[in-house]
Amino acid sequence: MRRDDQERLVQALEFALDAHGDQKRKGKDVPYVSHLLQVAGFVMEYGGDVELAVAALLHDVIEDCPGTKLEDIERRFGTRVAKVVHDCTDLMEEDTPDQKSEWRVRKERYVLHVKEADFDTQLVVVCDKLHNISNVLSDLRAHGVATFKKFSAGARAQLWYYESIRLAVHDSLPPALLAEYELHVTKLKEYVAVGS
């Protein structure tokens, strides 16, 4: 990897660490940055370039970090990165990181948005959701269907969302990524059937 690419990744990680601060993964004592690193890793494993890995490291800063502005991301990391970060954000116009619209309304709008998104955004979105499902499945194996209680939306709603994301993305995404995602969704469906 070229030196300037390494430096961009380091700068993006520093930005993400500053923005997310001491945030933790939902229902865990795991630093939130672990998710960002995993998503960036997936993006690179499935053919994304360094700019998309940078976008993956920053994909939640607008949605989850009060005071973070898209203009700052564009100024520091460029238009392409800022566009992907914007497109990965599920906030509605009147929302803030602290005050979000009702879950189902936001997610329905987001699924429609993802359907119209370009390849770059869809790659980051699927890698993000793949890591999220993978975490849910890990918790389900360890703690059973009680895992679903940590989410504001129930098990069936979670399954609907992950299935809808798959239907929204193009088959032009890497086949190995789509296959892995579908495998995870199928496993999640089995847990939802047991827990319903």
**Phi, psi (5° rounding) for residue 24?**
-120, 160
Query: What tokens does 121 get?
Result: 């955004």
pLDDT at 11 (0 to 100):
98
pLDDT at 152 (0 to 100):
80
The whole-angstrom distance between residue 113's C-alpha and the CA centroid of its chain comes to: 14
pLDDT at 157 (0 to 100):
94
pLDDT at 109 (0 to 100):
96
Determine if the pTM surpasses 0.85.
yes
Cα–Cα dist 168/170, whole Å = 7
Domain count for the chain, please give it: 1
pLDDT at 13 (0 to 100):
98
CB 81 within 8 A of CB 5: no
Three-state SS at 59: coil
pLDDT at 196 (0 to 100):
55
**∠ CA 48-49-55, rounded to 5°:** 85
Cα–Cα dist 37/13, whole Å = 8
> The domain spanning residue 40 has which CATH number?
1.10.3210.10
CA atoms within 13 A on the CB side of 56: 32
Along the 196 residues of the chain, how does pLDDT read in single tens digits? 899 999 999 999 999 999 999 999 987 889 999 999 999 999 999 999 999 999 999 999 999 999 999 999 999 999 999 999 999 999 988 888 889 999 999 999 999 999 999 999 999 999 999 999 999 999 999 998 888 888 888 899 999 999 999 999 988 899 999 999 999 999 999 999 886 5
The whole-angstrom distance between residue 141's C-alpha and the CA centroid of its chain comes to: 22
pLDDT at 151 (0 to 100):
82
Question: Domain containing 147: what range?
Answer: 3-195
